[in-house]
């Protein structure tokens, strides 16, 4: 009997879903029972409750900002909102409302910071670079894999990184690959190639993984 996963699971259950009956993972990692899923789901739900409480508290702090609030205070809140966006991207279900609220609040804060930087060319350039970096970061977080990899305590262990990347969609792999520097990318590619060579007997079942290996080679060009 196949195990049942949530349609949009949280990080821990999502990683179990990646591993389940996946020949790229070890037998211990790909074979487990409903109890393990329940445990992962419980931990995800606990994390989501804690996130909701902290997020509402953060919204309260933003609402109390004064019109003449110092830039240091606003940038601190902006940084915490960015962290909340990253965390929400890895939670279960759709988090569109939270993400929209965060984006709008960050824009309000940054508009105020921009006004304070008027006439300062260096500050304006720094703000432009920060906005570009944030936009790119938010775009990458559209992929749950990226959020899972960026978590302080990622459910993806180091020895599970390569099989995880080979098991994802083409777009998710492309996004996640950007998180690593060139040296690390090359190492991932070599390890992926070796893993697939070691599993040649399952080549028919791993056709997508072989395509992803080719994609990695193209991303290295």
pTM equals 0.92
Region of poorest pLDDT, from 110-114, 126-130, 192-196:
110-114
- Residues 43-80 have pLDDT tens digits of 999 999 999 999 999 999 998 988 788 878 888 999 99
Q: In the numeric block, which tokens belong to residue 18?
A: 């990646």
Is 89:141 a contact under the CB 8 Å cutoff?
yes
Q: Tokens 């601190």 belong to which residue? A: 76
Q: In the numeric block, which tokens belong to residue 209?
A: 């993984």
**Which of 216, 170, 221, 171 lies closest to 194, judged by CA?**
216
Q: In the numeric block, which tokens belong to residue 93?
A: 């279900």
SS3 content of the chain, % helix, strand, coil (to 5): 70, 0, 30
Q: In the numeric block, which tokens belong to residue 103?
A: 């984006």
Percent of the chain exceeding pLDDT 90 equals 81
Is 151:11 a contact under the CB 8 Å cutoff?
yes
């Amino acid at each position: 009997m196949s195990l049942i996963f949530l349609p949009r699971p949280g990080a821990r259950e999502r990683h179990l879903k990646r591993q389940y009956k996946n020949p790229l993972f070890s037998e211990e990692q790909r074979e487990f029972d409903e109890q393990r899923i329940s445990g992962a789901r419980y931990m995800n739900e606990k994390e989501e409750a804690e996130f909701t409480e902290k997020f509402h508290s953060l919204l309260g702090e933003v609402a109390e900002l004064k019109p003449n609030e110092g830039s240091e205070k606003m940038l601190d809140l902006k940084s915490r909102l960015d962290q909340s966006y990253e965390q929400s991207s890895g939670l279960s279900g759709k988090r569109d409302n939270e993400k929209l609220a965060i984006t709008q609040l960050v824009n309000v804060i940054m508009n105020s910071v921009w006004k304070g930087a008027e006439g300062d060319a260096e500050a304006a350039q720094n703000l432009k670079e920060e906005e570009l970096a944030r936009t790119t970061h938010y775009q990458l977080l559209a992929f749950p894999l990226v959020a899972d990899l960026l978590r302080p305590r990622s459910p993806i262990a180091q020895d599970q990184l390569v099989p995880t990347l080979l098991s994802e969609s083409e777009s998710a792999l492309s996004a996640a690959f950007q998180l690593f520097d060139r040296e690390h990318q090359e190492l991932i590619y070599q390890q992926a190639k070796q893993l697939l060579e070691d599993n040649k007997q399952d080549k028919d079942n791993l056709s997508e993984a072989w395509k992803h290996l080719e994609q990695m080679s193209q991303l290295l060009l």
